[in-house]
Each structure stands twice: as structure tokens, then as C-alpha cells.
Amino acid sequence: MATEVAIDGERFLINGRPTYEGVSHGGKPVEGLLLNSRMIQAIFDDECVETRGVWAYPDTGAWDPERNTDDFCRHLAEYRSHGLLAVTVGLQGGGGNFRPEVYDNYLNSAYRPDGSFKAPYFERLRRVLRAADEAGIVVIVNYFYWKQVTRIREDQTLYEIAERVTEWLLKTGHRNILVDVANESARWWKRPALEPENVHTFIELVKGISVDGRRLLVGSSSGGGKEAPFGRWLEVEDFSMPHGNGCTADELRAKLRRLKETDEFRRRPRPIVVNEDGISVENLEAAVGEYCSWGFYCQGYGSHYRDRTDWTTQGRESRYEGLSGFQTPPVNWGINTPDKRAFFERVELITGGR
């Protein structure tokens, strides 16, 4: 195995050395950060017959989950050459198309309602872990996404899934793994077990599982705006993952400062990783200026989605070469659009491509 991630206070280490060792930007340290991108659909599939065609590649007229993962893996070394050190990948993906007739019906989950695993998802994840390991990249593995969790009726099944996924990840032998238990744990999940007051039970469960004396580093991401971890959640997490969606650069600075001012953080400083925000390089600069890692979130046109970027102003591109975003399948995983280039160029400027 080539890549092993660890934590030392507020710093990330890879293979025992601080990330971006010796690097600073604008007079501020970069050493120890983990600049990242949300690539949540890297193992995506859709089992719903009515919606599967939405994701068809423009050059073939069909959706192909194996092509999607293979294309992603081929680009990991390119991302790393610009200084990117982590990607977030989801076992239940994320929103790719927010039109109700699609979003309410598509089926993208590595788990069946009874909690049993779907082997193809885990084989695709294994390929991602291996390719990322070889490229020197950390994979932040997300276990649950609220839209797909609704298909799993029993909370006990969710705990069993978390336990077995953690064991599976440890048994791969890969050491380039961080865990994001629940994407944006919030009260609107309508699943008390995974809501902010209780998500700590999943974090503690994952922390308590070891294989050959090794455990995974784990937290749970919180929502955009003013949302942030609190209480027992903030006490037990290994690292924080507040999202920056909807925040201006100044609002993001203020949010990150508030988190660092909490009693829990002061007692035990830990890395802060914004692993979802938007396409604004100003927000990237703001996070780095506060000594926090930052994550690119580029949705893509044709998604019927608006954040600080309005992705509804045009439809999905008609040519594979022009496909925008990293979250609306089909994805062109290349650095092929101005938004993607602006991000990767800024990461390279900040890190020197280290």
C-alpha cells in the first residue's frame, strides 16, 4: 500500500509526513491541509428502470457504471499532479438530477433495504481505493445519503450496515481512507438515528471497530450555511467536516472561526475539512486562510439545481467532451471546463503541486 493517512493535532499526515510539507501561501501555512474535491458519484449506478436513461452517455446513448468508475480512476493521477490530496466518494452517492420525477425515484445505493450489500458497488469502490492509493490520494468514504436512506426502514439495519462497511474497508488493507458517516447530518433527514443529536452513535461505532489493531478515522459532515457539528458529535469526531454551501467567503471565514472557538475544539484541536462547498476559489482561499481544508463541489448543467451557481441556465451538454460538473452523471472526469480548470489551477498555485 502506497498511501497512509493519519492525524497529528490539526494536521494531516501522509506516510508519516505532514501534507504539503513546508508550503505556505499568502503568508499562511498550507502544511497539514487536505485540499479535496467532491467526487461523490464515482461508483454511481441507478437500478430504477424509469430513471436510468437520464444518465446515458451522449456518445453511446446508454448508462455504464463500470465506464464511469474506470474513467474516474484514470484521472486520479492528473488531479494529484495539481496538488489535490483527497476525494469524497459515496456508497449512496448524492443528488445528480433534482427534478422530482428523477430525484424521488432513482435508486443509487450499495445496500438493499434489508442491509445486504450489492457486490458491484463494493468492487467499484475497491478499484477507486486501489487507484487512489497508487496516486497518493486519500478517499473520504461517505456511508449514507438521506435520499437513499429512506429506503432502509429499520434504524438497527443502519447500524449493522455501518459496522459491516467499516469492517470491509479495514479488511481491504488500504490505509488511505477517512470516513464521512452521514452526508450533511441534519434534522431534515427525518431519521432520528442519523440526525445531529444522535449521529455521534455512528461515529463511536466506527471508532470502536478495529482489524489487526487498526481503526479508521471518522466524522460526519454537517450542512452549509451556519450548520456545524455540536455537542457529543463535536466531542467524539476525529476531524470536522462542515460544508460551505451557500456561504460567501466572509461567511465561511466566520463559520470556521466559530467552530474553532467552541469549547470542544479548544480542548482537542483537530483538522477541519470542508469537503463540500461550491466552485468559488474565493471560498477556497478563505478556508486556507483559516487553516482549514476545502472541497470543490461542481454540480453540472442539466441538474435542475441552484446553489451560489445557477446550474439551470442550460441543459446537459450534448457532447461527452463538454460535460460540465462532477456530480451530474454522466460525468466527464477530466479537467475539461473553465470551472474545473480554475479550481485545479488555484490548488496548484496554493500547493505548488506538492
Amino acid (1-letter code) at residue 277: D
Cα separation values, 151 from 40, 92, 148, 228, 275, Å: 19, 11, 6, 26, 25
Specify the pLDDT at position 188. Answer: 79
Q: What is the mean pLDDT of residues 91-109?
A: 97
pTM: 0.98
For the segment 208-220, the average pLDDT, to the nearest whole number, is: 97
Which percentage of the chain shows pLDDT scores above 70? 100
Amino acid at 290: E
Query: Across the chain, which distance is largest between two alpha carbons, in Å?
Result: 55
Backbone angles phi, psi at 217, to 5 degrees: -85, 135
DSSP string, 181-200: EETTB-GGG--GGGSTTTTH
Per-residue pLDDT of 65-95, as tens digits, reads 999 999 999 999 999 999 999 999 999 999 9
| pLDDT given at position 306 | 92
The Cα 7–Cα 18 span in angstroms is: 9
The answer to whether the beta carbons of residues 108 and 45 sit under 8 Å apart is yes
- More confidently predicted of 1 and 162: 162
What would the pLDDT profile of 117-169 be if each residue is shown by its tens digit? Answer: 999 999 999 999 999 999 999 999 999 999 999 999 899 999 999 999 999 99
Distance, in Å, from the CA atom of 181 to the CA atom of 132, rounded to the nearest integer, reads 20
Domains of the chain: 5-351 (3.20.20.80)
pLDDT band at 338 (very low <50, low <70, confident <90, very high): very high
pLDDT at 1: 64
